[in-house]
Amino acid sequence: MFLQKTLRQRVSVSGHGLHSGAPCKLTFVPAPPRSGVHFVRADLPGRPSVKVLAENVTATGYATTLSCPEFSIATVEHCLSALSALRIDNLIVELDGPEIPIVDGSSKSFLDAILSVGLIEQDQPRQYCSIVEPIYFSEGEKQAYVLPYQGLRVSVTIDFPHPAIGRQKLDLDINEVSFAREVAPARTFGFVKDLESLQKQGLARGGGLHNAIGLDDHGILNPEGLRFPDEFVRHKALDALGDLVTLGMPLMGHLVLYKAGHDIMNKLVRKIQSSPSCTRVVEWGTDLAELQRVRAGV
């Protein structure tokens, strides 16, 4: 809780790319204190990298994409979600090609890989972005805001005009145990008509019922059914936690979302970064007493 963390040793996750359908591998690599989280293309000359920050997000349609001059990498939120829940401060996410393994469409494989090698504390205190005044962003009926909270909590509401989804809400304190049990196994979902359109464009060639919940106009196509009755909203919470990593440090606050996707999350994170009067950068333990005084208005 007090010190920054990274992985104890390297660990890999293999699978297939969502868009190409080709085999690919991701390797989590320990990184030094205060370095942050970076994606690195190990297969390209010079091993170019992009830091996981909101300013490097270049697309938010269907997934979050990070870019630097040498490459772009999409659908980063599933692996980043595990980092958010485990409070991993410093990490290199090494790629062997242009895509991240989609595995089963959830965060479980990434979480399991990290937990299999364990985490190690580093010799620098962790810094949190603590919310001391509410920050709000909305576009039409889509809403996102953060409130002061001693920890990390998410409240997510979705509302889809589909008989298998409808209105769902999840309200959860996020820690390693709650994330592993309630969020990490939740799979992404999509509509058959959208998948067919994407595949005609040469995209989503690796997508199917083995790595997503598929829906037609009437119901769920997966023969095994759902992992949770409200798996859809749980996956939206998973996505949001992944997008939170682009803040550059762990959030201490209560995130509330209504019909908000990757685009709204990116805009909210940018607003948090540009609202110094509503936030405090604190080191847990060192600055906790001062933070409590700020919140109390003393």
CATH code of the domain in which 51 resides:
3.30.1700.10
Please say if 78 is a catalytic residue: no
Residues with pLDDT less than 50, the chain: 298
Candidates 16, 19, 254, 262; catalytic one: 262
Write out pLDDT tens, residues 126-175: 999 999 999 999 999 999 999 999 999 999 999 999 999 999 999 999 99
Residue type, 62: Y
Element (H, E) at 288: helix 288-296
- What pairing do the DSSP bridges indicate for beta strands 213-215 and 189-191? parallel
The predicted structure's pLDDT at residue 286: 58
- Bridge partners, 14 (sequence order): 25
User: In the Cβ-directed half-sphere of 61, how many Cα atoms lie within 13 Å?
Assistant: 2
Region of residue 214 (phi > 0: left; psi between -120 and 50: alpha; otherwise: beta): beta
The predicted structure's pLDDT at residue 200: 75
Range of the domain at 172: 3-296
The whole-angstrom separation of Cα 190 and Cα 265 is: 19
Q: Can you tell me which residue has the tokens 């030094």? A: 32
Decide: residue 181, CB within 10 A, 0-12 exposed, 13-18 middle, 19+ buried: exposed
The predicted structure's pLDDT at residue 298: 47
The whole-angstrom separation of Cα 52 and Cα 248 is: 7
Q: Domains in the chain: how many in total?
A: 1
